[in-house]
Structure 1
Amino acid sequence: MRVFFIALGLMLWGLVASAFEIEEDRWFRSAAETGALHILSSTDTAVFAPLIEAYQARNPGVSVHYVVTNTQALFHAIADEQADFDLAISSAMDLQMKLANDGLALSHQSPATARLPAWAHWRDQLFGFTQEPVVMALSRRALGAAPIPETRQDLIRLMRDHPDLFAGRIGTYDPARSGAGYLFASQDARQSDTFWRMSEVMGGLSPHLYASTGAMLDDLQAGKLILAYNVLGSYLADRLKTWPDGEMVELRDYTQVLLRTAFVPVTAQRPDLGRGFLDFLISHAGQTLIDERTGFSRIDEAALAEGPHLRPIRLDPGLLIYVDPLIKAGFLDEWAAAVLRR
């Protein structure tokens, strides 16, 4: 009878999980399981596997179920479907902030969370555990003799001066399809009016629009693009290890810095395990592993101080402005008018 109820519970959990689109679904099984931690994440399994394995080495009785989906699906899974994951991890800071602000995150305080700088957590509910520059990627060979732009003004001039070179060969996020892409675009608009002028110039060159950094980098490496705007620097850095033609550009007028964030949902079945894994991520051991094994960068105030052009996207209520449905609809309309010319 006990086996029956365990099987029934797993089947019902699977039905809940399958209500949203799943990109990856993997169990990291413990040989002597005493509990199971369920994580919903927008980060690829291959990137997170070293962290999960290191966590399990310290907690050998815990199996980990790691489910990957996109940032918008993650938001709706928690907000609308009450999916019972023990930890939610996403690169879409604004959507994470919305979930926490709407009362869907449990509070958590520990010695590990107390060591985070004020800009890397919010209300003891939402916690940053990586900082990643949002950069421009380009192919030096495809760019030819044209100069590498150092600012957005440089990029605007370059595109205007060489329309034949760039037509149909620029990639950027589609903010209507990507939560991270919408975050980057809306924060660009907050930083400078230059974003709209740049968007209009890009729009006149028939840019390709993407839902992920990985897809943009694939086309850039394949020669379909010359440059990709607003890609995650951590993903690009990993590609550059085996791609000598690639170039990462941190624009000097400003370079946004994303915080990958995590929280324990109120629907968690094992909030104790969610909190424990969160503490591991922001512990010294976890942060060291993030630096050494994932391609991401740890939370590091000193590194930000050394780069005055680096602008962290702060975990504060300002993120909620562009999540408002009316403001978001207006922004996307304005973006479509500039980039899609409609």
Structure 2
Amino acid sequence: MRHIYCLILCFCPMLVGAQTWEDRSVFGASNPARTLRVLSSTDTSFFAPIIESFLQRQPGLAVEYFVIGTAQIDEIFRAEPSEYDVVISSAMDLQLKLVNDGYGLPIANLGVPDWAQWRDSLYAFTSEPATVVVNRSAFPNGDVPRSRQELIQALRARPELFDGRVGTYDVRLSGLGYLFATQDARASESFWRLMEVMGGLNAKLYCCSGEMIEDLETGKLLVAYNVLGSYVDARETVSDQLEVILPSDFPTTMMRTAFVHVGTTLRGDAEAFVRHLVNLQSALLSPETFPLPRLTSNTDASGQSAITLEPALMTYLDPLKRRTFIKEWSDAIIQ
């Protein structure tokens, strides 16, 4: 019988055992013949049913699933690439750079559209827009802002209410937050105006969507910017309390991507895992079996689509450009 058990980190003698993980779990048989090691930024609760469905056809295999932030994934993997077989992250730019640097193993014939793969090595398997999430108590008359400009106006109109109760990613620490911020800035100047307004309201900065949602639920936050809406949807207890808004002015839609480490010793199992992620897109599955948003091009009326996997995505990873962007962002939001 397959089951899940958590590892006791303090007794692991390996380097990875010293790492502080957000979560670390093993799926599969207690005494497996092989163990596939997956490094990911997606919460275990979302991936558990996906891994379980994969293991149904993989006797003798276990999956060790490590969860940590997007920026930390890049650092940890580059430091010890031999420790992991598959890398999954929503920070598309960092993933693209890893594959571009030669860490990805090409996998042929996956049937993924060109816009959702890079060099037959990096494959997208979900897409999801960044959203604004609000606590409805801040908008009792239902006048919830539907665009970035409306959000700016709402925050300016009632600074005494929103002071210290708005939040977003700390782009210095979050790879996904940095990706969203740079793409927002490329799309519209309203991003910088919004950052200045939030900075004037003593914005709180976060590593991840989950922590923002928790503070929205308790009322510590009333507005959170660039949150993954699926993390709100997964919490049925907050459905009446929080509202997820997809800004009407322009979408910023990321794709979760996966690649197989070129140095894996479990090539067949690792390739099969990535194929499983891709094949789930065409399967008729319930949200309980595949709880993540499906992969779509997300093209809006203006023709703007999801952030694409292309070399331009690495522009803001240039050290000078990154320092310049973070300085401008810090000047705007840390006042």
Q: TM-score, normalised by structure 2?
A: 0.90
Distance 1:287 1:92, change over 3 A: farther
2:321 is equivalent to residue 321 of structure 1: no
Task: Kindly provide the amino acid, as one letter, of the partner of residue 25 in structure 1.
Answer: R
Q: Deviations over 1:58-108 (max 9, x none)?
A: 112211111112212211122232243110011111111110111111111
Cα distance between partner residues in 2 of 1:211 and 1:320: 21
What's the offset of the Cα at 1:288? 4.3
Task: Kindly provide the amino acid, as one letter, of the partner of residue 103 in structure 2.
Answer: L
Distance 1:35 1:261, change over 3 A: same
2:127 is equivalent to residue 127 of structure 1: no
1:216 aligned counterpart, secondary structure:
helix
For 1:168, which of 161, 164, 167 is the aligned residue?
164
Q: TM-score, normalised by structure 1?
A: 0.89
Structure 1, 328-337 or 279-288: larger mean CA deviation: 279-288
2:224 is equivalent to residue 228 of structure 1: yes
**Residues 37 and 270 in structure 1, CA contact (< 8 A), matched pair in contact too:** yes
Task: Kindly provide the amino acid, as one letter, of the partner of residue 80 in structure 1.
Answer: A
1:219 aligned counterpart, secondary structure:
helix
Which structure features the higher share of helix residues? 1
Structure 1, 127-136 or 276-285: larger mean CA deviation: 276-285
Cα distance between partner residues in 2 of 1:82 and 1:325: 22
2:42 is equivalent to residue 46 of structure 1: no
Task: Kindly provide the amino acid, as one letter, of the partner of residue 299 in structure 1.
Answer: L
Residue equivalent to 2:185: 189
Unaligned 5+ runs, structure 2:
1-9
Matched pairs, number? 326
Identity within the alignment, %: 40
Residue equivalent to 1:23: 22
Structure 1, 130-139 or 58-67: larger mean CA deviation: 58-67
2:83 aligned counterpart, secondary structure:
coil
**Residues 103 and 261 in structure 2, CA contact (< 8 A), matched pair in contact too:** yes
Cα distance between partner residues in 1 of 2:321 and 2:286: 35
Residue equivalent to 1:86: 85
1:18 aligned counterpart, secondary structure:
helix
Cα distance between partner residues in 1 of 2:287 and 2:304: 18
**Residues 51 and 289 in structure 1, CA contact (< 8 A), matched pair in contact too:** no
2:242 is equivalent to residue 246 of structure 1: yes
What's the offset of the Cα at 1:203? 0.7
2:263 is equivalent to residue 264 of structure 1: no
Cα distance between partner residues in 1 of 2:208 and 2:302: 27
1:17 aligned counterpart, secondary structure:
helix
Q: Deviations over 1:29-74 (max 9, x none)?
A: 3267342211111111121110111011111221111111221221
**Residues 290 and 298 in structure 1, CA contact (< 8 A), matched pair in contact too:** no
For 1:334, which of 290, 312, 328 is the aligned residue?
328
**Residues 42 and 91 in structure 1, CA contact (< 8 A), matched pair in contact too:** yes
Residue equivalent to 2:201: 205
Cα distance between partner residues in 1 of 2:16 and 2:191: 38
What's the offset of the Cα at 1:240? 4.8
Cα distance between partner residues in 2 of 1:285 and 1:170: 35
**Residues 125 and 281 in structure 2, CA contact (< 8 A), matched pair in contact too:** no
Q: Deviations over 1:194-253 (max 9, x none)?
A: 111111111101011100100000000101111110000111122256431211100000
Cα distance between partner residues in 2 of 1:315 and 1:296: 20
Cα distance between partner residues in 2 of 1:206 and 1:109: 49
Task: Kindly provide the amino acid, as one letter, of the partner of residue 57 in structure 2.
Answer: R
Cα distance between partner residues in 2 of 1:127 and 1:252: 28
Q: Deviations over 1:117-139 (max 9, x none)?
A: 21111110111011111100001
Residue equivalent to 1:57: 56
Q: Deviations over 1:239-268 (max 9, x none)?
A: 256431211100000121110110011232
For 1:311, which of 305, 308, 311 is the aligned residue?
305
Cα distance between partner residues in 2 of 1:124 and 1:310: 24
What's the offset of the Cα at 1:23? 2.2
Residue equivalent to 1:296: 292
